[in-house]
Amino acid sequence: MGVAVWLSTRPPAPPRLLVGVDDDTLKWTTNPLGVVAAQRRLGADAVRVWVPWHGEARPGRTRLDELARAEQAATRTSVVLAVFGFGATAPTAPAAQRRFCRYAAAALERVPDARAVVVWNEANSPTYWRGDAHAYESLLAHCYDALHHVRPHVVVLDSTASAHDPVAFLDGVGAAYRASGRTRPLVDAFGHNPYPLSSLEPVGARHGGGFVGEGDYARLASTLEHAFAGTPQRSLDVWYLEDGFQTAVPARLDRRYTGRETAATTTPALQAERIAGAIRLAACQPRVRAFFNFELVDESRLAGWQSGLEWRGARPKPAAAAFVSAARTAAKGDVRCGGRP
């Protein structure tokens, strides 16, 4: 008797995507679990929290209080600690790198339930990093070992920006890694901030030159494969650590904001469409494991970012409902891939 074998032509379901927000609110409140509950109602199962570094050897009292709140939150949600400063404080010299990595490890000791740690922010951007790719490779190596000594299963991430030629920078990190002779990985996954060139452009827009947005995933993936081929770097997974689409502020809310807008903005309705499309697209990109929206609530300074899911004053934007729906679908792995984002 013959046996009929049916082969489905439907593409395999994408892996479940971790969806979160970049938000520091829980650091500043006496009720961090209340903040987590609000985030989870919006469909966010993770939060990336900034741990500032100004050159100190260990976290001071204020930072310890913030880290204690982050640990409370980490019992209910996935907490990602992003440890970094700005260009002038970038640890490019060996002694500064050892000091920074001790600080990052001390922060992780205070948040043992943290899921991941980001080693610096947007290291290809002069706003944050004043060294070269070789210096950043060295920092990653030092911190990877220090952080895994504290918690073997923590996810260690790097961070690159969509602008400032992340392809060339990652090629440089890979070359430095290969030349170092290191036998352990540098990271457990690669963090990237795939902001669009403008909030007006469609999700999935492709770019040339030194810009790598979400629509340039194929170029990012091929860069990682080329840069780290033949090295002990096992994982080439990607976490999108920041993305967002800025909205214009309606006149009725002007009093909650200050200054003047400095970038192109979109409508609240179009932001909702964009953020849902960005989550769906991330869920369909094979190596992408996480997507974080910057941010939960708009910054009050119009020169900052108004890409939150809520206006100042905690009023939800249309993007909030879109985020909930897209995040929950992506978290279940139920996104239909192959169509438009």
Lowest mean pLDDT among 144-148, 187-191, 260-264: 260-264
State the CB neighbour count (10 A cutoff) for residue 184.
Answer: 11
- Report which of residues 10 and 224 the model is more confident about: 224
Query: What digits encode the pLDDT tens for the residues 239-268?
Result: 999 999 999 999 999 999 999 999 999 999
- DSSP letters, 285-302, are STTEEEEEES-SB--SBT
User: DSSP code of 312?
Assistant: T
**Mean pLDDT in residue range 165-173:** 98
pLDDT of residue 314: 80
pLDDT of residue 309: 97
Query: What digits encode the pLDDT tens for the residues 197-209?
Result: 999 999 999 999 9
State the amino acid at position 318 in one-letter form: P
pLDDT above 90 as % of the chain: 92
Q: Considering the chain, what is the average pLDDT of its residues?
A: 94
Tell whether the model's pLDDT for residue 6 goes beyond 70.
Answer: no
The answer to whether position 236 is within a domain reads yes
User: Under 8 Å CB-to-CB from 9, ≥6 apart: which residues?
Assistant: none
- Nearest one of 113, 104, 102 to 47, comparing CA atoms: 113
Tell whether the model's pLDDT for residue 130 goes beyond 90.
Answer: yes
Q: Tokens 């504290």 sit at which residue?
A: 150
Planar angle of CA 301, 305, 310, nearest 5 degrees? 95
Planar angle of CA 210, 211, 214, nearest 5 degrees? 150
Task: For residue 272, give both structure tokens.
Answer: 């909702």
Q: What sign for the dihedral angle of Cα 134, 138, 139, 140? A: positive
**Mean pLDDT in residue range 322-333:** 95
The answer to whether position 339 is within a domain reads no
Rounded Cα–Cα distance for residues 324 and 41 (Å): 8
Rounded Cα–Cα distance for residues 191 and 116 (Å): 11
- Cα 210 vs. chain centroid, distance in angstroms? 19
Q: Tokens 């395999």 sit at which residue?
A: 12
- Nearest one of 90, 85, 217 to 162, comparing CA atoms: 217
In what order do the strands lie in the sheet containing 155-157?
A: 155-157, 116-119, 78-84, 46-52, 18-22, 288-293, 238-243, 190-193, 160-161
Task: For residue 210, give both structure tokens.
Answer: 């030194």
Q: Do the Cβ atoms of 254 and 322 come closer than 8 Å? A: no
pLDDT of residue 338: 78
The answer to whether position 5 is within a domain reads no
| Helices 166-180 + 217-227 axis angle, to 10 | 20
Output the domain CATH number for residue 55: 3.20.20.80
pLDDT of residue 15: 66
Rounded Cα–Cα distance for residues 83 and 119 (Å): 6
The answer to whether position 102 is within a domain reads yes
For 75, the 3-state DSSP assignment is coil
- Cα 138 vs. chain centroid, distance in angstroms? 21
Tell whether the model's pLDDT for residue 5 goes beyond 90.
Answer: no
The answer to whether position 48 is within a domain reads yes
Domain that holds residue 112: 18-332
In the chain, the number of structural domains is 1
**Mean pLDDT in residue range 157-171:** 98
Lowest mean pLDDT among 11-25, 31-45, 53-67: 11-25
pLDDT of residue 14: 54
**Mean pLDDT in residue range 164-168:** 98
